[in-house]
Every structure is written in C-alpha cells, then in structure tokens.
Amino acid sequence: MVFKRKKLFTIVILVIAGISLIKSYHLFFRDFENNEIYKGVTGIESVQNNGNFTFAVMGDNKNSISTFKKIVDSINSQPAIRFTMNTGDMVFDGNPIKYDFFLKQLRQFKNPMIPVPGNHDEADGGIDRYVSIFGPLYYSFSHSSSLFIVLDDSNEENIDPWQLRWLREELEKSKDYQHTFVFMHVPIYDPRKSLKAQPGHSLKDLDSAREVLNLLKQYPVDMVFAGHIHGYFKGNWEGVPYTITGGGGAEMLLSDPEHYFYHYIKVNVTGNNVSYTVEKIDSPDFNVADRIGAFLWIYLYSFVVINYWVILLLIALGVLSYMYIKRYGKDFPFSITWRKKK
C-alpha cells in the first residue's frame, strides 16, 4: 500500500487544524454578557467604595511573559488597586493562538483588567477576534465620581468622525463628574518631537490629531493615557495633560533611563485630588548590548512558550519521519511502500 505525499500532508494539516480548533474554540463562540469589557466593568461597579479608589494603568505587553507576570504580581499584591486599564498591544498580532495565551494570562489578575484596542491587537485579522473576546472598540464607563473614556485609534491614522462625535457627547457628560480619564493606544503626538515636527510614533493624520486635541482642550480632562511608545513620558499637549505608559513587557531597545524602563502607573483618586505613582519593574541594563539581547530573548522565549504544542507536534513528526526513512528508504515522504512478510 502506497501513501502519496498529498495524503500525508493532508493528514498533518488536519491534525494541526484540529488541535488549533480545540484550543481556540472559545474565541469564536462568545455572547455579549461574556465579553471581557462587560464582565470587567460589572466587576468594578459591584465593589463598594466611599468615593476614594485606586486603579493601575499599563500597556504594550505584547504577549510578554516574565515582565508581564511581574507587573500582574505587583498589582495583585496591592489590595487598594481595584482594576487595571491596559492601553493596548496586549498581543503581538491577531493570531488566535496568541489571543488564547493572553486570555490565560488575563486570569492571573485578581481584579478586572479593562482593555484599549492597539494596532497589534487588530493586526492580521485580529479586529474581529478582539471584538469577539473583549467587546466594543470604544466605550465609556463610570466609577464613583469619575468617568472613563476609551477611544479606538488603533489604525494609527486618526479618530474617525463618528467616534469624534461620540467623544464630544461623552465629554459633555463629563461635566457631571469630578474626574475624567481618557485612554487611547496611539498618542495624539509623539513627546519626543515638537508638535510642528509630527508625525512621530503618533497619529499620522495631523488634521485629525489637531481636531482631537482641540476638543479635549474644551473640557477639564484629568489625564489622557496612551501607549504605543515603549517607555514612559509625561507632560501636556497645549495644556491637556498626558501620560504615555508603554512599559508592560514589549521590546525596549532605547536606553535612556529617564524614559525606557518597564513599569505601570498607580492612580489614586481621593475626593478632588488625583495622584500618580510610577511603579518600576526590573528592566534590562541601560546599554545597547543588553537591550538587544533582551529583545531577542523576549521573542524567542514567548514563541516557545506560546507555541509549545506545535513545536512538540513538529518534533514528533520529525522523529516519526526519521524512523520511516531509516526503515523504508530515502523516498519518504514522497512514498512509503509496505510489504507483507512472506
């Protein structure tokens, strides 16, 4: 009996596809009340408080393993932190295996994590997967006397007119709250460049960037949080305060110790006052060699951990192939001839 190459390859593909479907089936069958935003916001609202509360902000973990775990452990060790906002790029791309792995990481948080869509989260067909898992791309919620507004600028270009109109309506509602916090992934402007020298690692459509900034300037926004830039920056855009927090575990090649370190932000709301604390996490030494070495290790380690079952399957197939070649000759896998013993 002879097995042709096409049949052999078909069997291998079906095995891999079957394992992928089994591991990732829950990414495709979710209803509204099971999306992560709904569950997270509901979990926050169910916690009683006296008007004072603390939350964390982080971003750009991109399937990080060790650094992200350190951040989760640090947040979990502080009972005062009620929830965590993630400013996006939670996964390296929209591959279902990477999303499946991140969902397992997400369960490590003791309290809710609320997402912001990033460009990597929506890459390679990830936008449908993001919506299926987390829910709407832009939304708002309130907690105590604060309003939280989450925007979607993951296209890295602009904020579309419909969303901008919605943002204006939400900012009008913010007048009824003591504090307003706005979250986006791509910053309006890159703090490393002057506003006239844009675009940097920021919105590429300068007309849209100006329109968003002019709108925010009309309202008393406490802070605009963004990610996208792998580091920490704080300042203001023409009076609008911003914090860029992209130190959640992704690669960090630049070595300025003032900006490029792993971290998250702890935000403490007490009545009319809001304070911000930078919680630093162990980072590679501030030199080029260590930064490049850490960069290579991050992706090698995460690739092995996330795809371990695929790697094991390929190794098993390789060993099986070798055994067949040794026994049936060099024609494998093009054909395998089985002979009955006489």
The hierarchical CATH code for the domain 31-305 is 3.60.21.10
Q: What is the pLDDT of residues 12-39, one digit of tens each?
A: 555 655 655 555 444 444 444 468 898 8
Q: What is the pLDDT of residues 243-302, one digit of tens each?
A: 999 999 988 877 788 999 999 999 999 989 999 999 999 876 665 666 676 656 666 656
pLDDT at residue 67 tops 80: yes
Q: What is the pLDDT of residues 177-193, one digit of tens each?
A: 999 999 999 999 999 98
Residue 87 and residue 60 in contact, taking contact as beta carbons nearer than 8 Å? yes
pLDDT at residue 2 tops 60: no
Mark out the alpha helices in 185-287 (DSSP H runs): 206-216
Separation of alpha carbons 337 and 8, rounded Å: 13
- Give the rounded distance of the alpha carbon of 46 from its chain centre: 25
Using omega within 30 degrees of 0 as the cis cutoff, is the peptide bond preceding 199 cis?
yes
Rounded to two decimals, the pTM is 0.80
Alpha-carbon distances of 88 from 72, 244, 273, 327, 333, rounded to whole Å = 15, 12, 27, 52, 44
Separation of alpha carbons 25 and 228, rounded Å: 30
DSSP state of 191: T
Mean pLDDT of the chain: 83
Separation of alpha carbons 121 and 158, rounded Å: 17
Q: What is the pLDDT of residues 109-138, one digit of tens each?
A: 999 999 999 999 998 888 999 999 999 999
